[in-house]
Amino acid sequence: GAVVSQHPSRVICKSGTSVKIECRSLDFQATTMFWYRQFPKQSLMLMATSNEGSKATYEQGVEKDKFLINHASLTLSTLTVTSAHPEDSSFYICSATQLAGGTQETQYFGPGTRLLVL
Amino acid sequence: SQKIEQNSEALNIQEGKTATLTCNYTNYSPAYLQWYRQDPGRGPVFLLLIRENEKEKRKERLKVTFDTTLKQSLFHITASQPADSATYLCALDMLNSGYALNFGKGTSLLVTP
């Protein structure tokens, strides 16, 4: 149980284009979803916290107009990287906490999306 | 600011031995601490959570200790196997961010036959 999927698993795009990444909780309803970014040999850095039906809360230094988050349902959150640039190339990982049946402190992570901007 | 430190150097051990990984933190009084496993190119997988009022927790071959005085957690894998080779991440709750986590950089473990 508690499976989180992400799509796509990897994407290559041209500079200036937008990329959408989907995060789904497959077998549970997620109270909250989180978006992290991980550069090579670095720790996961929280970008934003997303609750269904409300605006995402962004961490300091993360541009909300560049990284658009939509949390349409209790099982789906999307991250859109707008006007992507090479410095946005990274590993984007989402996670979710369970609404019921588990401790809300535990996060279930998706497999990640590798973004390469040329 | 909150800081989490894990051994930056990779840990190489022989199969069957016990691996011990360290997580130290500063400027923090976390309500709980978690350990995750991350394989290359994959998302982290939850292993164990230990709360501030717990000294030790076990799960199969895994054992975690939590010393809030030393501000340190130790993560042990007994009877280690090559399949245990991965990066292990320590994570603490972020202040004022709901259930968001603050992660250490992780320690890479290599278990050789």
Partners of A115 on chain B (C-beta within 8 Å) are none
Interface check for B89 against chain A (CB to CB < 8 A): the answer is yes
- pLDDT, tens digit, for every residue of B99-112? 889 999 999 999 99
Interface check for B95 against chain A (CB to CB < 8 A): the answer is no
How far does CA B109 lie from the centroid of its chain? Answer: 11
Q: Do B35 and B103 form a contact (C-beta atoms < 8 A)?
A: no
pLDDT at position B110 is 97
Q: Which two tokens stand for residue B15?
A: 């199969």
DSSP secondary structure letter of residue B7: -
Interface check for A43 against chain B (CB to CB < 8 A): the answer is yes
Contacts of A101 (CB under 8 A, 6+ apart): A28
pLDDT at position B49 is 94
Dist CA A21 CA A30 (whole Å)? 17
Q: Is the pLDDT of residue A25 over 70?
A: yes
pLDDT at position B1 is 77
Chain-chain contact of A44 with B34 (C-beta, under 8 angstroms): no
Q: Is the pLDDT of residue B15 over 70?
A: yes
Dist CA B111 CA B76 (whole Å)? 13
Interface check for B19 against chain A (CB to CB < 8 A): the answer is no
* Percent helix, strand and coil across chain B, each to the nearest 5: 5, 55, 40
Partners of B45 on chain A (C-beta within 8 Å) are 109
- pLDDT, tens digit, for every residue of A33-67? 999 999 988 899 999 999 888 889 999 999 999 99
Partners of B37 on chain A (C-beta within 8 Å) are none
Partners of A45 on chain B (C-beta within 8 Å) are 103
Confidence of residue A2 (pLDDT cuts 50, 70, 90): confident
